[in-house]
Chain A
Amino acid sequence: MGWRRIKAPLPPGRYYFSGNEAVAEGAIAAGCRFYGGYPITPSSETMERMAHRLGQIGGVFVQMEDELSSIAAVIGASWAGAKAMTATSGPGLSLMMENIGYAAFTETPCIIVDIQRAGPATGQATRVGSGDIMQAKWGSHGDYQIIALSPWSVQEMYDGTIRAFNFAERYRVPTFVLGDEAVGHLRETLEIKPWVRVFDRKKSRGRPPFDSKNPRQIPPMPTFGEGENLLVTGSTHDGHGIRRTDDPKVHSRLVRRLNDKILLNQQDIVDTEEFFIEDAVVTVLCYGFTARSTLTAVKELRERGHKVGFMRLKTLWPFPHERVGQLSQGVEKIFVPEMNRGQVAGEAMKSSRCEVVSFCQTNGEIIRPEVIRQEVMRVL
C-alpha cells in the first residue's frame, strides 16, 4: 500500500487520442476497475471507452439509471475496494452533488470527470464552457474540501487522470478532473510512458477509519468483506463511524479535520505553471483550454515587446492563494480570461494585492488568442 511503480497497460509510444479517450486510458493506467455512469454530451466518449476497456481487463462497468445512482454506485464500489470513477457534464454534475458531499464526509476516494459545457441548465449541450468551477468546490451543502485538476491538453487528460486517482486514494477525497468540451474533444498526440506511479489506499487493521490525531495524516481505509465491521455513515460520526449527531465536539472535530487534511497538505497538491513572470507588468492567470489561447497570445505580446506573464493553474482546488498572492506583489494587474462570468477571477481577488481584471466570454465558443491579446493590450 502507498506508492508503487507499475507498467503502463498500453505499450509505450505515441498515440493519437481525443481528450475523453485519454481520460479512460489514464484511469485504466491508474488502476481504475469500476466505472458507473450515465450518458451525457460532451463526456460520453470516456464512458464508451471504459465499457470497452474494462471488459477487456476484467473490470466492472455499469451504466446506471441516472447520475445520482452513478456516483452512488461509484462510492459503493470504492468501499468494496475499487478504484472507481464516473464522468459527466454540467447537468449530470448538478445531480451528483448530494452524493459528492457524502463522499467527502465519508472520506471515500472517487474520481469525477466533468467535461464542462455551456450552462446554465441544458444550455448549449455541445458547446464549451467552464462554468462549473465553483460548483465543483461548493456544490454540495456544508463545508468540505475536494481536489480539482484543470487539464489543458490530451496529454494532461491522461496524466491528470492518473494524478487524480493518486490524490483521491492518498487523501481519501473526491477528486475532479475539470475538463471542458474543447479539451475533451481535442485530438492530438499522446505520449504513453512505460511506467506509471500509482498510490493505493492505506489499510491498518483495527485503527479508526474516520479519525487521526494529526490532521495532516489520513486515516486508513478498510474494505467491505475484510471482517472490520465497518460503519460508514453520512451522519456525524466518531473515529469508528458511530453516529454522534448530537455531540458538538465530534461534529466540530470532524468538519475541521476534513478541511484540514486537504488544506494542510496543499503544498503537495497545488500545481501551477509559469512563463515570462520575472519582469511582467501584467500576468494572465488562466486554466483549462483557455490557457492554450493565452499562451499563444502572451508569446505574441512578448514578441511585440510587452511585459506580459503567463500563469496556468494546473490544479484549481484547493485554490493556490499563496502563489497568486506572491504573484500579485510583482505585477500591476492580473488578467483572468474565462469561459464563465469570472469564477476564478473572483477567487483570485481574495489573495491578490493588485488589481484583478476579469474577462468573461459565455457564448459557447473558445476564447481566441487574438481576443486575449487585444484585451490584454487594453489593460497594459
Chain B
Amino acid sequence: MVRAMEQYLRSEIPSTPFCPGCGHGILLGLVLRSIHALGIDMREMLFVSGIGCASWIPSPHFNADTLHTTHGRAIAFATGAKLYNPKLRVMVISGDGDLSSIGGNHLIHAARRDIDLKVICANNMIYGMTGGQVAATTPLGSTTSTTPLGNPDRPFDLCKLVQAAGGRFVARHSVTQPLALMESIKKSLSFEGFSFIEVLSPCATQYGSKNLLESAPKIMEWLMENCIPREEAEGLSPEELEEKIITGEWGYVETGTG
C-alpha cells in the first residue's frame, strides 16, 4: 500500500516539513488514500491552499496541479478556477486560521453559493506556523502565546457555522479516527456541491507545549479521549459532554453522483 501511494507524491520532494507528532501527515495520507480508493485520476484534481502549516499538505507534495495562494483566500481562488473549468475536481486544504478567521467570509459565502468545492480544514486549534497564537478555534481557557492567562473567548463550531451558511455536507473527525475520516473524504469527493470536513489535527509543538500536552502521544491521547462520535454522544448528559468534541457527519448526502 505504501509503495502504491508513491505515485501521488512528487519524487523530488524528499520529506514533509511537519513537526514530530503533527497530525497533518496523517491527513495527507488519508486524502491520497481516498483518491486512490475511488480511482480518481490526479490530472482531474486541483488542490488549493492558503498560508499556514496545513497549506503545505498539498503544495508541494501532491503530484497534481496545486495552487498555493495568499493567507485566507484559498476558497476564493478555488471559486474562480472551478467556475471557469467545472471539469476540475477542486479540493481546498488549509488550516483553521486560514479558512475560518482571515478567510471566514469566503468560507460562508462559498457554502451559501453551494459551489462544488471540497474544503478540508485541518484544525490544530492554534496558529502553528507563526508561533502558537490564539485562533478562532482555540478552546476557552487554553494558554497560547497571545493569551498567557488563558483564552477568554469561545471557539467557533466550524461545522455549525458552515451548515448555517448553507453547507449541505459537513463532517468532523480527528486524525485519530482515520477510517471514519477517510469515509467522509471519499463522500466529499463524490458529492456535488459544497462540502466541508473539519479535521482535528494535533499540534504538539505549539498547542500541546503550552497546555500540558507537550508530547505527541499525550496530545494524540487527549484527542482520542475527547473526540466522541455523535452516535455515542447522544446518550450522554450535558455535564459528560462538557469539553468533548463531537465527531461525525451532518447534512444531506447525495448518493450516486460525482
Q: How far is the CB of A299 from chain B (nearest CB, A)?
A: 46
Provide the residues of chain B in CB contact with A234, threshold 8 Å.
68-70
User: With the chains together, A68 CA to B68 CA distance in Å?
Assistant: 16
Assuming the contacts A72-B73, A225-B46, A225-B87, asked whether A66 and B79 have C-beta atoms less than 8 A apart, the reply is no
A134 on the B face (CB < 8 A): no
A33 on the B face (CB < 8 A): yes
User: With the chains together, A315 CA to B244 CA distance in Å?
Assistant: 61
CB-based contact A227/B66 at 8 Å = no
Q: How far is the CB of B41 from chain A (nearest CB, A)?
A: 9
CB-based contact B60/A231 at 8 Å = yes
A76 on the B face (CB < 8 A): yes
Q: How far is the CB of B132 from chain A (nearest CB, A)?
A: 21
Stretch among A39-47, A57-65, A114-122, A163-171 lining the B interface = A57-65
Provide the residues of chain B in CB contact with A73, threshold 8 Å.
76-77, 79-80, 83
Which residues 238-274 of A sit at the B interface, judged by CB distance below 8 A? 241-243
A178 on the B face (CB < 8 A): no
CB-based contact B73/A225 at 8 Å = no
Assuming the contacts A34-B80, A72-B73, asked whether A225 and B85 have C-beta atoms less than 8 A apart, the reply is yes
Measured CB to CB, the nearest residue on chain A to B88 is: A225
Which residues 81-104 of A sit at the B interface, judged by CB distance below 8 A? 81-82, 84, 98-99, 102
Provide the residues of chain B in CB contact with A69, threshold 8 Å.
73, 75-76, 79, 105-106, 109
Output the residue of B67, B80, B88, B109 with the most chain A CB within 10 A. Answer: B80
Indicate which residue in A60, A65, A75, A229 contacts B77 across the interface (CB closer than 8 Å): A75
CB-based contact B60/A80 at 8 Å = no
Q: How far is the CB of A128 from chain B (nearest CB, A)?
A: 30
Q: How far is the CB of B142 from chain A (nearest CB, A)?
A: 29
B81 on the A face (CB < 8 A): yes
Assuming the contacts A73-B79, A77-B80, asked whether A65 and B106 have C-beta atoms less than 8 A apart, the reply is yes
The DSSP consensus for interface residues of chain A is: mixed
B246 on the A face (CB < 8 A): no
CB-based contact B60/A242 at 8 Å = yes
B84 on the A face (CB < 8 A): yes
Provide the residues of chain A in CB contact with B70, threshold 8 Å.
72, 98-99, 102, 234
Which residues 40-88 of B sit at the A interface, judged by CB distance below 8 A? 43-44, 46, 48, 59-60, 63-70, 72-73, 75-85, 87-88
CB-based contact B84/A229 at 8 Å = no
- A residues sitting closer than 8 Å to B (CB atoms) are 33-34, 36, 60, 62, 64-66, 68-70, 72-82, 84, 98-99, 102, 224-235, 241-243
Give me the 8 closest cross-chain CB pairs, A-B, nearest first. A76-B80, A73-B80, A69-B76, A72-B76, A77-B80, A76-B77, A233-B68, A76-B81
- B residues sitting closer than 8 Å to A (CB atoms) are 10, 12-13, 43-44, 46, 48, 59-60, 63-70, 72-73, 75-85, 87-88, 105-106, 109
> What are 21 A-B pairs at a CB distance below 8 A?
A34-B83, A72-B80, A73-B79, A75-B69, A76-B76, A76-B77, A76-B80, A76-B82, A79-B67, A80-B85, A81-B84, A98-B70, A224-B46, A224-B67, A229-B65, A230-B65, A232-B65, A232-B68, A233-B59, A234-B69, A242-B12
